[in-house]
Amino acid sequence: MNHMKVRNEATGNESLKAEGQKDQSKADLKNAGENIQDAFK
């Protein structure tokens, strides 16, 4: 669990929680793209 998500859930800040989820989604997509590239090497 990333640190932003933990902090935002602890404070209950919905705006920051949404931002943390967006950042996590971007990271997940980047990892997926890298995995696809690795599969074709």
Q: How many domains does the chain have?
A: 1
* pLDDT less than 70: residues of the chain: 1-12
Residue 5: predicted pLDDT: 64
> Can you give the length of the chain in residues?
41
Residue 14: predicted pLDDT: 76
Q: Which domain holds residue 23?
A: 3-39
Residue 36: predicted pLDDT: 92
Cα separation, 21 vs 25, in Å, equals: 6
Residue 12: predicted pLDDT: 65
Report CA dihedral (16, 21, 23, 26) to the nearest 10 degrees: -160
Q: Which residue has the tokens 């998500």?
A: 5
Give the Cβ contact number of residue 20 at 10 Å: 20
